[in-house]
Amino acid sequence: MTKKRKIEIAGSEITIISQKQNDYISLTDMAKSQMQEAIIIKWLSLKSTIEYIGEWEALYNPDFNYTEFGTIKNAAGSNNFVLSVKNWIEATNAIGITAQAGRYGGTYVFFRLSTNHHEHTA
């Protein structure tokens, strides 16, 4: 079962969920606080982001599909490249990023990955 709680950062309410004894912070809430909801897809489609989260997954996820990661990394950087969270998870068995559908859903990342997201959007 997923547990949710809220924290306040710089005057913005940010959701944190707990799944399988890990905490994930809401990228959706962080992006909304900057009035740029589409920024998550742009962030995930950056080659530098893919390299960062791929290396993180390789270190912390024994089931990470490194072959698919290489395919995605090679495609990244082209003008028409777009990567969704769903496609990333399905292709690579990623655990560091998750998405929940529905009215109160959103995109969540393991806390260490959110630090990289914030550096790219600040």
Please answer whether residues 25 and 16 qualify as being in contact, where contact means their C-beta atoms are separated by less than 8 angstroms.
Answer: yes
State the pLDDT at residue 113: 54
pTM value surpassing 0.75 = no
pLDDT per residue over 30-39, tens digit each? 777 665 657 7
State the pLDDT at residue 117: 44
What residues have CB less than 8 Å from 120, skipping those under 6 apart?
Answer: 43, 46, 48, 49
What residues have CB less than 8 Å from 62, skipping those under 6 apart?
Answer: none
Q: Tell me how long the chain is.
A: 122
**Nearest CA among 17, 78, 9 for reference residue 46:** 78
Q: Which has more confidence, 85 or 108?
A: 85
**How many Å apart are CA 77 and CA 64, to the nearest integer?**
22
Q: For strands 3-9 and 97-100, give the pairing.
A: unpaired
Mean local confidence (pLDDT), 89-97? 93
